[in-house]
Amino acid sequence: MSAADRKAPSDFIRDIVREDLRANKNDGRVVTRFPPEPNGYLHIGHAKSICINFGIALENKAGVCHLRFDDTNPSKESTEYTESIESDVRWLGFDWGSHLYYASDYFGKLYQYAVELIEDGKAYVCSLTTDEIREYRGTLTEPGKDSPYRTRSIEENLDLFERMRKGEFKAGSHVLRAKIDMASPNLNMRDPVFYRIKHESHHRTGDKWCIYPMYDFAHCLSDSIEGITHSICTLEFEDNRALYDWILDQLKVNCHPQQIEFARLNLSHTVLSKRKLLELVEGGYASGWDDPRMPTISGFLRRGYTPEAIRNFCERIGVAKSNSVVDIALLEHCIRQDLNLRAPRVMAVLRPLRVVIDNYPEGKVEQLDAENNPEDPSMGRRKIPFSRVVYIEQDDFREDPPEKFFRLTPGREVRLKHAYYVKCERVVKDKGTGQVAEVHCRYDPETRGGWSQDGRKVRGTLHWVSATHALEAEVRLYDHLFTKRDPYDVEEGFDFKANINPNSLEKLISCLVEPTLAGARPGTRYQFLRQGYFCVDSVDSRDGAPVFNRIVSLRDSWAKIERAQKKSPLGQPKP
């Protein structure tokens, strides 16, 4: 609705799907899946995968996308995570219908498949220690060597595997391994481990199992069981594809999905790895997974991003196989584009400067008419109170204005948005600090609404709030989590945390917002005129004490001019 409809996305994966459909490869079916491990919160990298998998399903008449939890490692997983993942995927706007699955649902079947492999002499119980297995694996350039247990008889393997399942052995004493090729140049094929012993409760199967399948064994078979046609994953699994195919070939299953890999998303000025994000949370650098600065789905939600903007972003970054880093400016562009059309405009003064309009009658109040969104007249109009004392932004007044500054300055006339032209007559300074404490103006009663009768123009239009009517609010300004485009670009001996932006959060506690914001519901988004888009924080807001999160600032060409002036001495104000 917000963003104009674009042509359907096209990329190499969709090309494959289209070609398979044309060749009737899967009887016209298109079944994809989004398979997160419930060991953390989803971030925008997952959103890319979600948009690809659910997107492809949605684009095809017979398309379906499953949500499957890849919960094969009980030590790291919990229902807290499955719940957050479900809610995040839903928030993004996708629906898996009845297709919610868990790899743990297949533990019984998977066990049977493993037995089948043993019976065929294609898997064996290995009793080497972890260290020994590593040593026997060889290196990138040297072949591995066979485990001494590789020649155990089928009967012994069957017996041992069953006893592993029954809990007769302690963790680490045995594993089930595929019998493939210890000299394979692909390390994944050097007799990979399929099952390990873990005497740990699983968040869904409890203590029913004490052996758990590894990713490589569980994933391809879960895909096969579910009738997945296209198993789309990220690039680091390219080498695992040979194993994926090997397992399905050995077991002669009737569904053999095609694994296709794409490059994972990297975003500038942030990190996108569950481990690193966890580190930020645990180290107190972020207040939680839903800290508005976090690149998590829950972080974006709390910050005020819309699902539409995130989906649009995921569509615009494309799908390819080269490692790349998308500039976070594109994400910011997407949310601005969306909110420009949908967010009602209001006035809020973040750093107030008192302005007294000397010729405006004391005690008089006018209700002025204001449009809610110039982009969309259907959003209506509202009344805002105006009185003798108003507050404007400190930045909107300069006693000694630099070049190209056309806001308020002594002797200059500007417009108060929707109100009147005012002209600065004098300033009152704080005796102690010498700072401007108050600005005195005269208004022109003939300019009500902000239009002059005589056609004279002003360069500046300022937002303001009426002193006696404004509401106090806390506003939180966010900046990038990291100062560098690449957080990993650090000096020898430091890690990514050395690049954390110390100013990524600025809390302003005495902001003044127009009274129409009284009772603003958590999660509501506004454009604070001339400043940016803001969202009522859903965690810290209280009745009568709203907290606003800045989602993203407006583009600020004055800031650019100012920056350029600082760089070039020629642009300095004239004495």
Partner RNA sequence: UGGGGCGUGGUGAAGCGGUAACACAGCGGACUUUGGAUCCGCCACUCGGAGGUUCGAAUCCUCCCGCCCCAGCCA
- Calculate Rg over the CA atoms of the chain: 31
2 binds RNA, rule: CB under 7 A: no
Binder of RNA out of 451, 472, 495, 509 (CB under 7 A): 451
Choices 52-60, 86-94, 328-336, 517-525; region in contact with RNA by CB under 7 A: 328-336
Binder of RNA out of 3, 58, 158, 214 (CB under 7 A): 214
Spatial CB neighbours of 267, under 8 Å, sequence gap ≥ 6: 44, 45, 295, 325, 326, 328, 331
* Residue among 10 and 572 whose Cβ is closer to RNA: 10
8 binds RNA, rule: CB under 7 A: no
To the nearest whole angstrom, how small is the minimum distance from the Cβ of residue 553 to RNA? Answer: 9
Considering only residues 242 to 281 of the shown chain, the ones binding RNA according to CB under 7 A are 263, 268
Q: Tell me the site size for RNA, rule CB under 7 A.
A: 90
* Residue among 29 and 415 whose Cβ is closer to RNA: 415
Sheet of strand 211-213, all strands in order from the earlier edge strand to the far edge: 123-126, 175-178, 193-197, 211-213
To the nearest whole angstrom, how small is the minimum distance from the Cβ of residue 140 to RNA? Answer: 4
The β-bridge relationship of strands 436-443 and 352-357 is: parallel
To the nearest whole angstrom, how small is the minimum distance from the Cβ of residue 364 to RNA? Answer: 19
Q: Is 37 a catalytic residue?
A: yes
Q: Give the helix ranges, DSSP H, for 76-214.
A: 79-91, 107-119, 130-137, 154-166
Residues 58-77: x/- map of binding to RNA (CB under 7 A)? ------------x-xx--x-
Binder of RNA out of 407, 412, 476, 480 (CB under 7 A): 407
17 binds RNA, rule: CB under 7 A: no
Describe the crossing of helices 307-316 and 44-59 by its angle, rounded to 10 degrees. Answer: 80
Cα–Cα distance, 124 to 265 (Å, whole number): 38
Provide the strand spans (E) within 287-365. 345-346, 348-349, 352-357
230 binds RNA, rule: CB under 7 A: no
- Chain-centroid distance, C-alpha 506: 20
* Beta bridge pairs of residue 534: 526, 550
* Residue among 64 and 339 whose Cβ is closer to RNA: 339
Cα–Cα distance, 460 to 530 (Å, whole number): 11
To the nearest whole angstrom, how small is the minimum distance from the Cβ of residue 360 to RNA? Answer: 17
Q: Which one is catalytic: 14, 48, 68, 274?
A: 274
Could you tell me if 296 and 267 are in contact, meaning their C-beta atoms sit under 8 angstroms apart? Answer: no
Choices 23-31, 44-52, 313-321, 349-357; region in contact with RNA by CB under 7 A: 313-321
The candidate with the shortest Cα–Cα distance to 72, out of 159, 237, 193, 240, is 193
33 binds RNA, rule: CB under 7 A: no
* Residue among 340 and 387 whose Cβ is closer to RNA: 340
Cα–Cα distance, 232 to 32 (Å, whole number): 7
Considering only residues 332 to 351 of the shown chain, the ones binding RNA according to CB under 7 A are 333, 336-337, 340, 345
Cα–Cα distance, 11 to 7 (Å, whole number): 12
Q: Is 145 a catalytic residue?
A: no
Binder of RNA out of 2, 95, 109, 134 (CB under 7 A): 134
Residue position matching structure tokens 């988004």: 525
To the nearest whole angstrom, how small is the minimum distance from the Cβ of residue 544 to RNA? Answer: 26
CA-based torsion, 241, 247, 252, 255: positive or negative: negative
The amino acid occupying position 283 is G
Considering only residues 472 to 491 of the shown chain, the ones binding RNA according to CB under 7 A are none
302 binds RNA, rule: CB under 7 A: no
Q: Which one is catalytic: 18, 25, 137, 264?
A: 264
* Residue among 316 and 469 whose Cβ is closer to RNA: 316
Q: Is 484 a catalytic residue?
A: no
239 binds RNA, rule: CB under 7 A: yes
Cα–Cα distance, 547 to 508 (Å, whole number): 10
145 binds RNA, rule: CB under 7 A: no
Cα angle 472, 473, 474 (rounded to 5 degrees) comes to 140
Cα–Cα distance, 356 to 507 (Å, whole number): 27
List the structure tokens of 226.
Answer: 């579910």
- DSSP structural state of residue 369: E
Considering only residues 110 to 129 of the shown chain, the ones binding RNA according to CB under 7 A are 128-129
566 binds RNA, rule: CB under 7 A: no
555 binds RNA, rule: CB under 7 A: yes
- Chain-centroid distance, C-alpha 74: 26
* Residue among 29 and 407 whose Cβ is closer to RNA: 407
* Residue among 154 and 325 whose Cβ is closer to RNA: 325
To the nearest whole angstrom, how small is the minimum distance from the Cβ of residue 23 to RNA? Answer: 18
To the nearest whole angstrom, how small is the minimum distance from the Cβ of residue 557 to RNA? Answer: 4
Binder of RNA out of 8, 325, 365, 545 (CB under 7 A): 325
To the nearest whole angstrom, how small is the minimum distance from the Cβ of residue 71 to RNA? Answer: 8
- Chain-centroid distance, C-alpha 437: 41
188 binds RNA, rule: CB under 7 A: yes
To the nearest whole angstrom, how small is the minimum distance from the Cβ of residue 209 to RNA? Answer: 12
Q: Give the helix ranges, DSSP H, for 317-435.
A: 328-342
Choices 290-298, 299-307, 472-480, 551-559; region in contact with RNA by CB under 7 A: 551-559
Cα–Cα distance, 551 to 533 (Å, whole number): 5
To the nearest whole angstrom, how small is the minimum distance from the Cβ of residue 539 to RNA? Answer: 27
Cα angle 414, 417, 419 (rounded to 5 degrees) comes to 90
Element (H, E) at 534: strand 532-536
Binder of RNA out of 212, 244, 478, 548 (CB under 7 A): 212
133 binds RNA, rule: CB under 7 A: yes
The candidate with the shortest Cα–Cα distance to 347, out of 504, 225, 463, is 463
Binder of RNA out of 3, 58, 255, 330 (CB under 7 A): 330
Binder of RNA out of 406, 467, 490, 501 (CB under 7 A): 406
To the nearest whole angstrom, how small is the minimum distance from the Cβ of residue 124 to RNA? Answer: 13
The candidate with the shortest Cα–Cα distance to 357, out of 318, 319, 414, is 414
Could you tell me if 73 and 39 are in contact, meaning their C-beta atoms sit under 8 angstroms apart? Answer: yes
Catalytic center residues? 37, 264, 274
